[in-house]
Amino acid sequence: MAFAAAVRAYGLGARDLWLDEAYSLRFARVPMAAFFETIAHADQHPPLYYLLLHGTIAVFGQSEAALRFPSLLLSVLTLPAVYLIARRAAGPRGALLAALLFAVSAVHVRYAQEARMYALQSFGIAWSLVGLLSALLAETPDRSARHLIWWDRAMAGRWAGWMLYSFGALVALYSQNTTLLYIACTAGAVLFLAVAGRVPRAATIAGLGLSLFLVATGWLPWAPSFAAQAGQVTTQFWIPRPDVAAVVRTVEALLMPFPGLTNPAIRGALLLVLVALLLAGLRGRGRELRLTVPLGAVVLLAPLALLLMSLRTPLFIPRALLWTTLPFFACAARGALSIPGSALRVSAVLLLVAASLASTAAYHTTWEKEQWRGAAAYVASRAADGDTVFVHSASVGLPFRYYFGQRAQRVHVEEIPAFSLTGAWEPRFGPEEESLLARRTAGGGEVWLVYSHFEYSDPARRMTALLDSLYPRHELRRFTGIEVWRFAR
CA 77 – CA 417 distance, rounded (Å): 40
**Residue 485: strand pairing partners:** 449, 476
Is residue 101 a contact partner of residue 83, using CB atoms and an 8 Å limit? Answer: no
* pLDDT, tens digit (0-9, with 9 covering 90-100), for 334-392: 999 999 989 999 999 999 999 899 999 999 998 888 999 999 999 998 888 888 899 98
CA 297 to chain centre: 19
Q: How far is residue 349's CA from residue 343's CA, in Å, rounded to a whole number?
A: 10
Measure the CA dihedral 397/399/404/406, to 10°: 80
pLDDT confidence of residue 126 = 98
- Number of C-beta neighbours around residue 287 at 10 A: 11
| 483 SS3 class | strand
Q: What's the pLDDT at 421?
A: 46
CA-CA distance, 9 to 220, in Å (whole number)? 36
Name the phi and psi angles at 361, rounded to 5. Answer: -60, -40
Specify the pLDDT at position 236. Answer: 59
What phi, psi does 74 have (nearest 5°)?
A: -65, -40
Mean pLDDT of the chain: 89
Using the CB atoms, write b or e for 320-346: b if 16+ within 10 Å: bbbbbbbbbbbbbbbbbbebeeeeeee
For range 255-272, the mean pLDDT: 83
Q: Read off the pLDDT of residues 426-436 as tens digits, 9 standing for 90 and up.
A: 677 888 888 88
| Of the candidate ranges 116-125, 331-340, 386-395, the one whose mean pLDDT is the lowest | 386-395
User: Burial, 372: exposed, middle or buried (Cβ in 10 Å; 0-12, 13-18, 19+)?
Assistant: buried
Find residue 474's DSSP bridge partners.
Answer: 487
Q: What letter would DSSP give residue 442?
A: -
- C-alpha closest to that of 335 among 314, 323, 349, 321: 349
Q: Is the dihedral of CA 399, 404, 409, 413 positive or negative?
A: negative
Q: Which amino acid is at 319?
A: R
Q: Would strands 482-488 and 412-416 be described as parallel, antiparallel, or unpaired?
A: unpaired
